Amino acid sequence: MSNSAPSQATVVRVDARQCDVLPDGHQEACGAHVRGRIYADRGSDKVPVAVGDRVLLSPSSEGFVIDEVLPRRNIFCRRAAGEDSRRQLLATNVDQVVLVACFGTPPFSSMTTDRILAAASFSDIPVAVVLNKTDRAKPQKIEKIAATYRNLGIPLLLTSAAQEIGIEEFKSLLKGKISVLYGLSGVGKSSLLNLVETGLGLRTREVSAGLKSGRHTTTYARLYPLPVGGSVVDTPGVRVFRPYGIPPLELRLHFPELASAGKSCHYSSCCHRGEPGCVVPEAIAQGRIAPSRHRTYLVLLEELEAEYGPT
Ligand SMILES: Nc1nc2c(ncn2[C@@H]2O[C@H](COP(=O)(O)OP(=O)(O)OP(=O)(O)O)[C@@H](O)[C@H]2O)c(=O)[nH]1
Ligand SMILES: [Mg+2]
Ligand SMILES: [Zn+2]
């Protein structure tokens, strides 16, 4: 890389104040430090640089330094873990969030799935759902869960990394796009990626029931360019996903079936939790809204109200 004009690069990995970047037109990533000023200006962000960021680089005595983060086209984020209420950037400038869930271990969690889908919707990022480990559940159970998400118009794939089922469809889903794989630890994100790109050799591991929580096989998010075109971010599994920044009253808009049914509620401000004239209970009884999704919505609404004040 020439040491003259600032050049552009994509951040492929973030680690404290050091990042790995892929300079445009290059095949190999290299290290780069983040300017102190970028940290100083980070506002409510825990870390001001994210995987997927487009940045300006300049040479420094120790290699390269990131001078500027270019404007982002979107931001997939969550509320940081624990007591920290800052925004944690998960990936930026992505074409889609590919939510990976599974059957068996860990069991399918609609609560986690629906939280992540709502956050992606809030960030205006398209989603797809991959239900992995289909070898670990009965067809009836798989179909029931699959139908819930298909009915929302979300592209949905059924895969088994163990039996190499659905891998061609998974490749087509990723082809030519910038995707971020996201989901609980142990659902098989890295296993699926290893089948897409045999050269990656990502570490995967059995999640045993006795394992202390908080242990992830993948320990950092990393962006990998794909030979089929496009790139994909493998991420460490999440335990609890808390969306960042959704105003409580806006949450209902990020559950498309609630937004649609809610147009007939008596009050336009209806939050679908027992208000008079709310049509949601009837829609649930008629099978038009999955009870699991409504439950997640109510829990999330309370959480957001506790954080940002009542609606
Ligand atoms: N039965 C079965 N096991 C699978 C399947 N896919 C992955 N596994 C196993 O599930 C375990 C976890 O897989 P990983 O690929 O490490 O999961 P991950 O989502 O990357 O986990 P983190 O990196 O911790 O977020 C490994 O032991 C895999 O061999 C599948 O389709 N069926
Ligand atoms: Mg992994
Ligand atoms: Zn209502």
Q: Where are the beta strands (DSSP E) in the chain?
A: 7-15, 18-23, 30-34, 54-60, 63-69, 75-79, 87-92, 96-102, 127-132, 156-158, 177-182, 222-225, 230-234
> How far is the centre of ligand 3, averaged over its atoms, from the C-alpha of 35 (Å)?
49
Burial of 49 (0-12, 13-18, 19+ CB in 10 A): buried
Place of tokens 């209970």: 281
> How far is the centre of ligand 3, averaged over its atoms, from the C-alpha of 128 (Å)?
27
Q: Is the pLDDT of residue 207 over 70?
A: no
Residue 213: predicted pLDDT: 47
Helix runs in 41-179, H state only: 110-122, 139-150, 167-174
Structural contact between residues 218 and 190, judged by C-beta atoms closer than 8 angstroms: yes
Tokens for 225, please give them. Answer: 């360019």
Closest listed ligand to the CA of 207: 1
Query: Ligand 1, from 204, 208, 215, 218: best to mutate by most atoms within 8 Å of Cβ?
Result: 204
pTM assigned to the model:
0.94
Closest atom, ligand 1, to C-alpha of 187: 19
- Give me the percent of the chain exceeding a pLDDT of 90: 81
Q: Give the number of other Cβ atoms within 10 Å of residue 74's Cβ.
A: 17
Q: CA separation (Å) from 224 to 11, 12, 154, 282?
A: 11, 7, 24, 46
The alpha carbon of residue 153 and the mean position of all alpha carbons in its chain are separated, in whole angstroms, by: 18
**What digits encode the pLDDT tens for the residues 84-103?**
889 999 999 999 999 999 99
Tokens for 168, please give them. Answer: 């061609």
Alpha-carbon span 200 to 197, nearest angstrom: 6
Closest atom, ligand 1, to C-alpha of 161: 31
Dihedrals phi, psi of 277, to nearest 5 degrees: 80, 15
- Is 161 close to ligand 1, i.e. is its CB under 6 Å away? yes
**What digits encode the pLDDT tens for the residues 181-196?**
999 999 999 999 999 9
> How far is the centre of ligand 3, averaged over its atoms, from the C-alpha of 273 (Å)?
7
Long-range contacts of 172-175 (CB under 8 A, 24+ apart): 173/98, 173/128, 173/130, 174/98, 174/226, 174/228, 174/230, 174/232, 175/226, 175/228, 175/229, 175/230
Q: Is the pLDDT of residue 289 over 60?
A: yes
